[in-house]
Structure 1
Amino acid sequence: MTTSTDQQVTEPAEFAAFLVQHLAGRAHEEISAEFHELLSAVNEHGKKGALVVRITVEPPKGHIDGDPVVISVDSDLKAPKASAPPSLYFVDHDGNATRNDPRQTAAFDLRDVTTATEIKDI
């Protein structure tokens, strides 16, 4: 017994074409701008980042064959950021951060002394 396999092989549509058409091109423009921002941030900070594009497809209510599906495109940009430089602090006897070394004695009472304008010969 022979069986016939006359199924048509269909080519999938190009994803890039879908993305360019989605929301009249706004999705493509926004994702392109985020990708550009990601490249710039990685180049500037020397750290890795990520851009995740999520396509969500929802079936129609009641799942009737041939009804339109709802497709949404979301993106999540995780670009590296500059790290704030650390600062040195001491921990005082009460457990608080302080800029002054608690082991050091209090500073001298300093005042501004102007330089002498005349130098006397001795």
Structure 2
Amino acid sequence: MTTHAAEPTTDTKPAEFASFLIGHLSGRVHDQISEEMHQLLEAVNAHGKKGQLTITVTVEPPKGAVDGGPVTIAVDSAVKAPKPVAPPAIYFLDRDGNATRNDPRQVAFDFRTADGPTEFRTAE
């Protein structure tokens, strides 16, 4: 039985993925993913909601699928961090169907500031 170079045998040990990731593109990808993980942890802690970091490794054979030829490996990452959510506010609809903060069924009062002293006395 002949074994091709690309087929692992039962007596081989796979290389550590962490070592590959640290060495890929001189460590730039590892540094980027580490920063993204840190940002994700901060966002989850700040907003109390879950987030996700996805790492995608794409391996492509050479053109023409030459046996034993070099493969290209690309690593990509995507972060889905929780974001702050603005609380809802209550609005009313006016006669034209537009949102307004004032209840159109309520009588409006014309409030104005009363005249008075602009300086306050301090206790002695």
What band does the TM-score fall into relative to the shorter chain? 0.7 to 0.9
The 5 Å alignment of 1:14-93 reads: 14-93=16-95
SS in 1 for 2:37: helix
Aligned length: 110
Per-residue CA deviations over 1:82-114 (Å, capped at 9, x if unaligned) read: 111222211112211001110012322534322
Q: 2:24, 2:43 → 1: CA distance?
A: 27
5+ residue gaps, structure 1: 116-122
Task: Decide which structure has the larger Cα Rg and report it.
Answer: 1
**2:5 alignment counterpart:** none
1:10 to 9, 12, 15: 12
TM-score, normalisation: structure 1: 0.83
CA RMSD in angstroms comes to 1.7
Runs of 4+ residues deviating >4 angstroms: none
Percent of pairs with identical residues:
59
5+ residue gaps, structure 2: 2-8, 118-124
**Which range is displaced more, 104-113 or 42-51?**
104-113
Q: 1:96, 1:75 → 2: CA distance?
A: 43
One-letter amino acid of the structure 2 residue matched with residue 47 of structure 1: K
Q: 1:109, 1:35 → 2: CA distance?
A: 54
One-letter amino acid of the structure 2 residue matched with residue 93 of structure 1: R
One-letter amino acid of the structure 1 residue matched with residue 56 of structure 2: R
